[in-house]
Structure 1
Amino acid sequence: MDCIDLETCEVFQGAEGPTAPLICVIDLPEHPFGIAEAAQGRRASVARIPIAAWGDNLTPWPEPGLRDGDAPFGGHGDRTLRELLDSVVPALERCHGIRPRALAICGYSLGGLFAFHAFCRDAHLIACASLSGSLWYEGLVEDLERHPFDGAGRYAYFSLGKKEPRSGAPIMRRVQARMERCAELCRAYGCDVDIAMGPGNHMQHHQERLEAGISALDSFLGRQDDGHDTMCPD
């Protein structure tokens, strides 16, 4: 596959068994998050989805790098989304004997940008968690304003460290304002929304934010109607 290494994907089956909802967590192959630990004791199943070249494969459209001399962002996120839903999730179903009745997505940093953009683009994903998400990305809010979606019965969770708006490249310092605008638009489109502000900067408290995000998704998914049709296309 072009963007996702299927062989290194993992599934941690939830307490509700093969038909439990599935939370797809975007991961770094080189520096993996503690997804196995965060998946313990959940009703929903959790899938680890390693994606290489984050700057290319998780961004929604091409943009210049953050600083002069930085590599540009490739903007292949829509291709990655189609690979995830059309190929990877069905393959995980076959390999692990699962048939999730609902899908959610979770990611950190550029993974959080991708998770939120994917949620807005595809109604198969009924919930998302954008953890310290790169929602400062140029054009994201404007795209969301131009493309309203039906958020009824869906859920978005956002988290951010309190120090994040005070560090990084100038464009990154607008992250809290952009996150709050994304949350406002999601509510206007009918979504349930939660925002969690925590301690630290972008490079701190990864595990705490991951566990809180998965917990929020697990709680939301546990309240949903088991018969809700949210399957990926075969």
Structure 2
Amino acid sequence: MKQQNYRILGDKDADYCLIQAVDEHDEQLLEKEFDAIRQRCNDKKVMLAAFLVDDWFHDLSPWKAPAVFGKNHFGDGATNTLNFVVNTFIPHLTNNVLAKPTETHFIIGGYSLAGLFALWAVTQTKHFKACAAASPSVWFPNWTTYASTCHFHADTIYLSLGNKETKAKNQLLAHVGEDMESLMHILENKKTTFEWNEGNHFAETDVRTAKAFAWCINQLETNLPKTI
């Protein structure tokens, strides 16, 4: 992932920096998404730093799995993607973009498989204060088993689904409601919320992602110690 394959919106003196993996469709909606985050976060200083993934099914998958959509098999590129985020993207932001990097809190999030990547990422690193997972692909093969055996380093986690997602024709996808219930049980000791949204998996993805990030920001704002 090259430097030109990311977009940054918002305040350089941000208190909260939102890290999001996006595809070309998500990228087209970033300004609408960021406006929606602003509306829900009042006067908080926020930056959205989104990076474009080259291969959605490979770059965001924590391990290999059979194809669910046509012939697009899932790869195991999430480790390389997270290495890029932690070792290249965030250092670039802290060294060249953010005005007060030592005071900025990082939140990772995303939609669909990017939401699953965000959940997986907070089991791998302590870099993120919160995780904003909008309609995450928790149906992903062996995800529930993995989640039940690992430690989530972020204490603040947002989860959501569309209320028609459990009615998908694909039986693996239709199982997402039960998989989400399992994840909520796993995360019962965290500051977690779950929200049903109207529609199927593809409805208002920008608004749903904005709600996820905004909830995390507002939760952190409430719980972080205040300085005088």
Task: Write the deviation string for residues 95-136 of structure 1: whole angstroms up to 9, x where unpaired.
Answer: 324415321111111111111111222122121111111110
CA contact (8 A) 1:5 1:51 kept: no
Residue 30 of structure 1, CA deviation: 5.2
Aligned residue for 1:32, secondary structure, equals helix
Where structure 1 has 5 or more consecutive residues not aligned to the other structure, the ranges are: 228-234
Aligned to 1:203: 202
Aligned to 1:47: 49
TM-score w.r.t. the length of structure 2 is 0.86
Aligned to 1:122: 125
Residue 150 of structure 1, CA deviation: 5.0
Alpha-carbon spacing, 1:192–1:109, altered in 2? closer, same or farther (3 Å):
same
CA contact (8 A) 2:20 2:48 kept: yes
Aligned to 2:225: 225
Identity of aligned residues (%): 21
Residue 147 of structure 1, CA deviation: 1.6
Residue 52 of structure 1, CA deviation: 1.8
TM-score w.r.t. the length of structure 1 is 0.84
- Give the aligned residue type for 1:147: C
Aligned residue for 1:45, secondary structure, equals strand
Aligned residue for 2:151, secondary structure, equals coil
- Give the aligned residue type for 1:18: D
Task: Write the deviation string for residues 42-99 of structure 1: whole angstroms up to 9, x where unpaired.
Answer: 42322122112110000110011116x6232111112211110111111122332441
1:50-199, aligned counterparts within 5 Å?
50-66=52-68, 70-98=71-99, 99=101, 101-149=104-152, 154-187=155-188, 190-199=189-198
CA RMSD, 1 decimal = 2.1
CA contact (8 A) 1:33 1:207 kept: no
CA contact (8 A) 1:199 1:205 kept: no
CA contact (8 A) 2:21 2:50 kept: yes
CA contact (8 A) 2:161 2:197 kept: yes
Which 10-residue stretch deviates more, 195-204 or 117-126? 117-126
Which 10-residue stretch deviates more, 120-129 or 218-227? 218-227
Aligned to 1:21: 16
Aligned residue for 2:193, secondary structure, equals strand
Residue 185 of structure 1, CA deviation: 0.8
Aligned to 1:9: 6
Q: Matched residues in 1 for 2:127 and 2:169: separation?
A: 34
Q: Matched residues in 1 for 2:156 and 2:2: separation?
A: 28
Q: Matched residues in 2 for 1:225 and 1:140: separation?
A: 34
Q: Matched residues in 2 for 1:89 and 1:150: separation?
A: 18
Report the number of matched residues.
Answer: 217
